Structure formats: C-alpha cells, structure tokens
Copies of this chain bind each other. A is one copy, B any other.
Amino acid sequence: MTGPLGYVETQRVVLFTEDDPLVLRGGGRLDHVEVAYETYGELSPARDNAVFVCHALTGDAHAAGLHLGAKKRGWWDNLIGPGKPVDTDRFFVVSANLLGGCSGTTGPLSTNPATGAAYGLDFPMLHMSDLVAVHRRLLASLGVARLHAAVGGSLGGMQVLQWVIDAPDEIDRAVVVAASSRLTPENIAFSSVAREAIMSDPDFHEGRYAEKGVQPRLGQKVARMMAHITYVSAASLETKFGRRRTGSGDDWTMGPDFEVEHYLQHQGETFLDRFDALSYLYLTRLLDYFDPFADPWTADRIRSTATRFQLTSFDSDWRFDTGQSARMARELAACGVAVDHVELPSPWGHDSFLLEPPGYHDRLRAFLVG
C-alpha cells in the first residue's frame, strides 16, 4: 500500500558522556551529547534494512508522519512512508537531528557542563565528521551495524558523503541530492551575510542572548529572508507571485506590499520560532569549510568502498547548482567509486529536493531497491 505514516514520536538518547566523550575532529570534546531521533518501520531480524535520513540545514528529526496533536506532517513525508520511495513497509528508517542543531540534539544552546550555562560561542566549531560520528553512535545504539542506504539532501547529502569517507564499509547506497562537496565563494558569501546579520544584531550579545531572555530576532529574520530567496528560483517566484500586490495603483508604501514581500516576511517570522541563531551560525560555517576532497586521506579511504552513490541535482537550483554535483561525481569517480549523477528538470530551485519534480521519486525508489 501507499499511504502516509501514522503517529510518530521523537525520542532522545544520551550517546556520549564525561566517561566516554565525543572527541571532535577539530580538537576539543563534548562531555555530554544527546540526540533526538525518530524511527519509522521495523528493523528486520537480519538488521539489514536500515535507511538513515540526513536532514538539511534547518531540518530536524521529524522527517515523516504526524506528531500527536499536530497538523503538519514531517518535512520529507512525501518521500517516506508505506509504499513510498523510502518504503516503511520495507525499510527501518532512522532520522536524527544534527549535532549543533536546536531540535533536541546537543548544540550551542545546550548547557555547558563546565559552566552550567548555555555554551553560546564557547561551543566548539564542528566538522562534518563530528555530525557523522554522533549519528553512527546512534545507529550502533539501535543495534544497526550497516546501512542499506543513507539519504540526504543539501547539507544532509554532504553528511552522507562524509559518512562514506569516514566509514567506507558501512553504507550500501548513498543518496545525495542537491548537494556539494565544496561550496562556491558565492555560497559562502550568502552565508557570511546571514551570519553578519545575526552577529551584528544588538540582541546577539556575543552569543549570550539566551541568558538575557532575548533572541537576535531582527538579524535572524533578515538572514532567513535572504537565504530563502536562494532556495527557490526566479521563475518559481514569478509563477507563484508575479508582481501581485496588496495595495493598488499609486498607493505605494515602503513596507511590504508585493505578495513576494509578504511571503518573505512570513518565512522570516516563522523561522524565529523554529530555529536558533547559534545553530544557524555553526551549521552554515561547517558547510563553508566542508571540502573533503582537499584532504589527501579522502581518496585513500574511499578507494576501496563498495558504497554506490546516486547523485541528483536540479536544473533550476542555483544555490547548489548541477556543476557542484558534477564536480562531486568526478571526484568520486576519480577514486574508483561507483556514481550515477543525473540532473533533473524542476522549476523550484534548491527546494526541489523537498518536492516531487517528475522522475525524482522514481529515481530514488529504483536505486533503493536496486
């Protein structure tokens, strides 16, 4: 059958403690790491049907199904469920909030055991490998040693790539959508402006805003509004909003009037409730620095992997354009790794990975059972 998942719940588990800390790739350690995660479907007796779903920058563990009492389904509910491409009748699906995030997994707003207060900017800089280490530990705690597949879009896809590099024997199929192995200077530039908006907000207080009971709302809103433009395409904004206005004729105003402006205002405002500014800083920054093929060890590590990669990019995605997926495909192929990259037509820009452009879900479905 094809249908939606029923009710699901977010779980939390402590994975690293003072006696067994998370040693970070860039130096330093975290003495207490817990992670929020959800699972859908059943682990097979042979424990060989696990699929790990990696979320994007501002995602969370709630990828599919409904929380009790909620109206909005998980962010990848169109992909995950009974009979869907990530088929919960067949697969045991795990989705977990990232290290550094703000939706249940340890991050910069978590309490620093050394001070009893929130870490703020004392939280260590994270590498993609640190995010992978936490999710590998989660899998182990669930009794899974090997993944049928890891699936991720955008940052999630980059995490999948790093996972294969760090553990070349652990994943059979790596699904990487709308991602990159190395951000462009334009990518970095947009994120840098977003961070500037947040960090220059007077309510940022050098990262100690939580103690003061405030939030860098103005900067965080601007950051999200700007970033949102880069997640969609000019054509999709044209189709969706055109130049329609609330006002009419010569009734001009400096505040929002065009529908596209009201839409961005809404995107910016709702982001304030669902995401944290420090997590935004840490996760965008690790993306900027992410460049695994610049590491001379990477090629050696993955040369012997049996992981097969499926890369998908979208023709209207100008934030993580096809050129970036193509480069990743070349880098993988140069290491002898099996990789299939296809660019799909889609009008919706980078956000296409969350939607259903023609051919996309079929392509994922075929790869997951192939």
Residues of A whose CB lies within 8 Å of any CB of B are 25-27, 121, 125, 182-186, 188-190, 192-193, 195-197, 199-202, 218-219, 221-222, 225-226, 229, 234, 237-238, 240-243, 250, 252-256, 258-261, 264-265, 268, 281, 285, 288-289, 291, 318, 321
- B254 and A285: CB pair below 8 A? yes
Pick 6 A–B contacts, CB within 8 A, sort by A: A125-B254, A184-B238, A185-B259, A186-B260, A188-B260, A197-B222
A240: B residues at CB distance < 8 A: 185
- B193 and A252: CB pair below 8 A? no
Distance in Å from the Cβ of A337 to the closest Cβ of chain B?
23
- A195 and B254: CB pair below 8 A? yes
- A186 and B254: CB pair below 8 A? no
User: Quick one: which of B196, B201, B237, B254 contacts A221, CB cutoff 8 A?
Assistant: B196
Distance in Å from the Cβ of A223 to the closest Cβ of chain B?
9
Copy tally for this chain in the complex stands at 2
Chain B residue, CB-CB nearest to A250: B26
- B200 and A243: CB pair below 8 A? no
Distance in Å from the Cβ of A340 to the closest Cβ of chain B?
26
- A288 and B258: CB pair below 8 A? yes
- B195 and A229: CB pair below 8 A? no
Chain B residue, CB-CB nearest to A182: B243
Distance in Å from the Cβ of A212 to the closest Cβ of chain B?
15
User: Quick one: which of B183, B189, B242, B255 contacts A264, CB cutoff 8 A?
Assistant: B189
- B189 and A243: CB pair below 8 A? no
- B238 and A185: CB pair below 8 A? yes
Distance in Å from the Cβ of A221 to the closest Cβ of chain B?
7
Q: Majority SS of interface residues in chain A?
A: helix
User: Quick one: which of B26, B195, B225, B288 contacts A193, CB cutoff 8 A?
Assistant: B225
- A185 and B242: CB pair below 8 A? yes
Task: State the CA gap A234–B250 with chains docked (Å).
Answer: 36
A196: B residues at CB distance < 8 A: 221-222, 225, 265, 268
- A261 and B184: CB pair below 8 A? no
- A291 and B243: CB pair below 8 A? yes
A218: B residues at CB distance < 8 A: 200-202
A226: B residues at CB distance < 8 A: 190, 193, 226
Chain B residue, CB-CB nearest to A261: B192
A183: B residues at CB distance < 8 A: 243
Task: State the CA gap A243–B8 with chains docked (Å).
Answer: 42
- A258 and B26: CB pair below 8 A? no
A281: B residues at CB distance < 8 A: 254
- B261 and A188: CB pair below 8 A? yes
Task: State the CA gap A182–B199 with chains docked (Å).
Answer: 35
- B197 and A237: CB pair below 8 A? no
- B185 and A260: CB pair below 8 A? yes
User: Quick one: which of B25, B238, B250, B264 contacts A192, CB cutoff 8 A?
Assistant: B264
- A200 and B185: CB pair below 8 A? no
A261: B residues at CB distance < 8 A: 188-189, 192
Q: A192-B256, A193-B229, A254-B281 are in contact. List 12 more A-B contacts (CB 8 A).
A: A25-B250, A125-B252, A184-B234, A185-B237, A188-B260, A189-B260, A192-B225, A192-B260, A192-B264, A193-B264, A202-B218, A222-B222
Task: State the CA gap A147–B240 with chains docked (Å).
Answer: 42
